[in-house]
C-alpha cells in the first residue's frame, strides 16, 4: 500500500462525507469521487476495498431511510444481474487489465448524460431485457474498476423513476453489489490491517453523508433532481477520462 502516514483520518472522513452527500443525491453511490482521491494514496486494490466497505455502510443506511420507496421489481431484475456480474468483474480484475476501459466508459457516460439532459422527454421501458442488460454492465464495471453505478443511474433516469424511488431502488441494488464485491476483495487479500483506523470514519461518513443527502433531496423538485443526477453522471465521465489521460501522461 502507498504511504498514507500524512493523510489524517479526519480528512478522509470529510472527503467521504462529501462524497456520500453527492452519492445520495445522484442515487448511484460515491465511488467515483472517493476513487479519484484515494488512487493517489493507496494501491488500486486497497482503493477498491475501501470504497466497497464505504458503500456497504452507506447503502445499508439508504435502504433503511428509503425503505418505503423501493421498486422491488426493478431491484429483482436489475439487481440480480448487477450482483452476479460484480462478482465476475471483481474476479476478472485479478487476471486482466484493460488499459483504456475507463476512457471508453467515461466517453460513454458523457455522451448519454448529455443526450438525456437535453432530451427531457426520452424514456426507456423498465422491461426485463433493459433492466438485466443495464444491471449486468453496471455490476461488471463496479467489480472491475470500482465504479459502475453511473451506468445504473443512466438506466434509472431513463426509466423516469420518482426521486425517492430512484434513490431507494438504486441503494438496494447497490448494497448487494458492494457486499458481493467486498467479499471477493476480502478473499483476495485486498484488506490490510493498516485500514482498520479508517473503518470508524468510514461508517461515520456513510451515516452523516446519507442523512444530509436525504435532507437536501427533500427540498428539491423532481426536475432539479433529474438534472443533478445527469450533471453528476456527466462529471463522472469527465473524471474517468481525465484519470486515464493523467495516467497515460505519467507513464
The full set of domain ranges for the chain reads 9-250
C-alpha cell at 87: 462478482
Q: How confident is the model at residue 1 (pLDDT cuts 50, 70, 90)?
A: very low
**Residue-level pLDDT at 150:** 78
- What pLDDT was estimated at residue 3? 47
Instruction: Render pLDDT for 136-169 as a digit per residue (tens, 0 to 9).
Output: 888 887 777 766 677 888 888 888 889 999 999 9
Range of weakest confidence among 74-78, 149-153, 154-158, 228-232 = 149-153
Task: Band the pLDDT of 221: cuts 50, 70, 90.
Answer: very high
Among candidates 57, 58, 40, 38, which has minimal Cα distance to 48? 38
Terminal Cα distance for the chain, rounded: 19
pLDDT of residue 219: 93
The mean predicted confidence, pLDDT, of the chain is: 82
Cα–Cα dist 134/152, whole Å:
6
Residue-level pLDDT at 40: 66
Q: Which carries the bigger pLDDT value, residue 31 or residue 171?
A: 171
Contact 51, 146 (CB under 8 A): yes
Give, in degrees to the nearest 5, the angle at Cα 163 between 151 and 240: 25
Inform me whether the pLDDT recorded for 31 exceeds 80: no
Q: At what angle do helices 222-250 and 163-187 cross, to 10 degrees?
A: 30
Contact predicate 46/192, CB 8 Å: yes
The model's confidence at residue 70, banded by pLDDT at 50, 70 and 90, is: very high
Q: Measure the CA–CA gap between 52 and 132, rounded to whole angstroms.
A: 22
Query: Best-predicted range by mean pLDDT among 10-19, 159-168, 186-195?
Result: 159-168
Q: Cα angle at 30 between 26 and 34, to 5 degrees?
A: 145
Question: With 70 as the cut, is the pLDDT of residue 231 above it?
Answer: yes
pTM given for the model = 0.77
Query: Is the pLDDT higher at 5 or at 35?
Result: 35
Label residues 165-184 b or e (16+ Cβ within 10 Å = b).
Answer: bbbbbbbbbbbbbbbbbbeb
User: What is the C-alpha to C-alpha distance for residues 87 and 238, in angstroms, rounded to an integer?
Assistant: 26
pLDDT at 2 over 80: no
The Cα 140–Cα 185 span in angstroms is 14
Amino acid at each position: 500500500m502507498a504511504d498514507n502516514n500524512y493523510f489524517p483520518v479526519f480528512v478522509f472522513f470529510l472527503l467521504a462525507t462529501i462524497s456520500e452527500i453527492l452519492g445520495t443525491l445522484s442515487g448511484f453511490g460515491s465511488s467515483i469521487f472517493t476513487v479519484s482521491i484515494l488512487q493517489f494514496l493507496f494501491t488500486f486494490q486497497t482503493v477498491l476495498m475501501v470504497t466497497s466497505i464505504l458503500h456497504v455502510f452507506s447503502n445499508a443506511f439508504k435502504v433503511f431511510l428509503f425503505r418505503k420507496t423501493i421498486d422491488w421489481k426493478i431491484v429483482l431484475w436489475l439487481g440480480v444481474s448487477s450482483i452476479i456480474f460484480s462478482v465476475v468483474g471483481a474476479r476478472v480484475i485479478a487476471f486482466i487489465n484493460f488499459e483504456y476501459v475507463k476512457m471508453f466508459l467515461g466517453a460513454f457516460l458523457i455522451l448519454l448524460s448529455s443526450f438525456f439532459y437535453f432530451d427531457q422527454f426520452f424514456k426507456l421501458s423498465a422491461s426485463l431485457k433493459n433492466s438485466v442488460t443495464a444491471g449486468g454492465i453496471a455490476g461488471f464495471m463496479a467489480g472491475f474498476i470500482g465504479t459502475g453505478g453511473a451506468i445504473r443511474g443512466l438506466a434509472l433516469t431513463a426509466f423516469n423513476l420518482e426521486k425517492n424511488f430512484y434513490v431507494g431502488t438504486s441503494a438496494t441494488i447497490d448494497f448487494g453489489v458492494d457486499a458481493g464485491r467486498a467479499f471477493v476483495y476480502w478473499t483476495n487479500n485486498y484488506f490490510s490491517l493498516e485500514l482498520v483506523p479508517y473503518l470508524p470514519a468510514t461508517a461515520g461518513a456513510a451515516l452523516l453523508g446519507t442523512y444530509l443527502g436525504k435532507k437536501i433531496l427533500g427540498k428539491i423538485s423532481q426536475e432539479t433532481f433529474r438534472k443533478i443526477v445527469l450533471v453528476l453522471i456527466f462529471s463522472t465521465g469527465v473524471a474517468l477520462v481525465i484519470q486515464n489521460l493523467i495516467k497515460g501522461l505519467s507513464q
